[in-house]
Structure 1
């Protein structure tokens, strides 16, 4: 695949940055696309751009704030707490987000002559989000190809990995310290290990702790 071009759906967080390093190891040309959907913290976009610039890959921002006119969620509204009730989707779920983002990423990919799309969805650590499931990605891949008369391939290198395994992959790619220090996953907009209290931080930090413990003991993750 070294002679082919890919687009990474990119947020500057742990998962998408690991996917970016994965893509750089697989494809000859890699571009990134990020989305301004009115997220609480503009720092997310700033981190994504800084990472793309440091790794010298093209960076494209698409305006998707229209999505906020259709739903209310904790990722775009400061007055909605980050929480999850038993049997319900987390308040951070943005309905249709991955569907829309991947569809627009495909339009961008076609415009720049890229056939491969990479996204960091995970069904192992997906908080119940329906648009992080493998079945959704496979279905959308077929739909995009039919809708655009294209031969896109959607790659999900993290889909069956829990957070410890995502850290293991970043280490395999020689990017553990980079991802650990320079990404932003925290729902409160704090980079690196974040606030330590929100669900995203707890998941990220517990995964790192588990991976480092297994590594120090010589155990496979």
Structure 2
């Protein structure tokens, strides 16, 4: 157990909730920070708050409404439908320009005010859905930039960076929170908790990962 404090960028979805419990096992105190960027489904924020309350994690929600104004996309606008398949060129319309950069920058400011050096985020280069701000090179670059910009030593942890969804399910199982992730998280782009709608890209990725996890790590259980 590391006796330092850590902050988790927290959405209440599968990946960030797995990271939350990963952090709770490794750090003496964990704080979760969520963002309200006028996403379509406020249930995401409610879900994040419920998980933190249930498992005794201090939770803060920061207002980032400007992101909606700057970067219209299918996660913030009701008149834009989420891409069901990856486009042949460019990024999916569920990608929010600058989101992870801004999330991590604001969390870093928050962390410094609290004397916290460790930041955890659930981005993954293995299952990054074509999002450029989930790549390891971006995280490492931003880590250096944040350190320089505030003359402070941040360390951004990415427990999921090099693992796929099946291995993320395995991590949850190893942490003893498989049922929590299955039933209490919200990954679905249509705001349905647990198994979700089953049709959106997030649900398909989650379901396929779970089936692989059962096949390769649970011996078909």
What TM-score comes out, normalization by structure 1 length? Answer: 0.97
Partner of 1:42: 42
Measured in 1, the distance between the counterparts of 2:20 and 2:175 equals 10
Farther off after superposition, 76-85 or 98-107? 76-85
Residue 58 of structure 2 is aligned to residue 73 of structure 1? no
Q: Structure 1 runs of 4+ off > 2 angstroms? A: 215-218
Residue 183 of structure 2 is aligned to residue 181 of structure 1? yes
Instruction: List runs of 5+ in structure 2 lacking aligned partners.
Output: none
Shift of residue 215, structure 1, vs aligned partner: 2.6
> Alignment RMSD, CA only?
1.2
Measured in 1, the distance between the counterparts of 2:65 and 2:143 equals 24
Q: How does 1:23-172 map to 2 (within 5 A)?
A: 23-83=23-83, 84-172=86-174
Shift of residue 178, structure 1, vs aligned partner: 0.7
Instruction: List runs of 5+ in structure 1 lacking aligned partners.
Output: none
Residue 26 of structure 2 is aligned to residue 13 of structure 1? no
SS in 1 for 2:79: coil
What TM-score comes out, normalization by structure 2 length? Answer: 0.97
